[in-house]
Structure 1
């Protein structure tokens, strides 16, 4: 005879909310991200954001609801096409899409509302570290990749295999 041990029901996912600097674009992520946060030090991310790196989380595109007027800029990167969505009023980058991964969106986590940003874990990996500027410290415990990590590389990193 087996005992019925009460289990705690999992908490329903609370959507993540974010917006651009001027508030023209607002968005909501209505399901949990498919990967954990990561940092990218590639030159395109640095130039697009005017920062040392981007802080990102991968979500399923169908779970990302965006309202407001936005523009999309497309570019090639290492043979892969990318499109970046940004606010035409203030220039804030919101997310990017890889042409060969149309089901996923790379959300810039700095655009999340503060109350939702703190709900995310710290980054589990940093990529394009070969292009990293020397003075920002590595994220403690995060896997470090000189370039774009392979699927095999990512299988060793908890929760990050969805970026490829």
Structure 2
């Protein structure tokens, strides 16, 4: 007893829905001649695990780089880039007047003259405060200097470091 070869199920369904010629054409184009796309065999498990670890590490590094804020510049780097310096042609006395006013308030606060707590200042009590005070913005008179052109001139202090003071602007006027 020989069994008849069964017709393809897709062809059988197409003949029910379409005419025999149309069903045959559709079957040939869409089913028989359709390319069979195969996925290549998967690589070895160790290689795949290694690639996965590498991908995760790179992803983590990218996330860290993205989230990190840039480091603030060091004082040495700021000096090298001259970020805090005002160009010579722009150094005029009116620029430094608000800084001097702020320094005056600072000194009154340090010496307790602001709230009327004290009416006078003596050297014994105020000496330590004045020795450790910040002199940025103070009007200073140069009494002694290696540079004779600076002597007896009154300037606004731009930077005060231990025993040396940098002056910002020439005298008023």
With normalisation by structure 2, the TM-score equals 0.19
- Looking at both structures, which has the greater relative contact order when contacts are Cα pairs under 8 Å and sequence separation is at least 6? 1
Structure 1 or 2: more helix by fraction: 2
Structure 1 or 2: more strand by fraction: 1
Which is greater in Rg?
Answer: 2
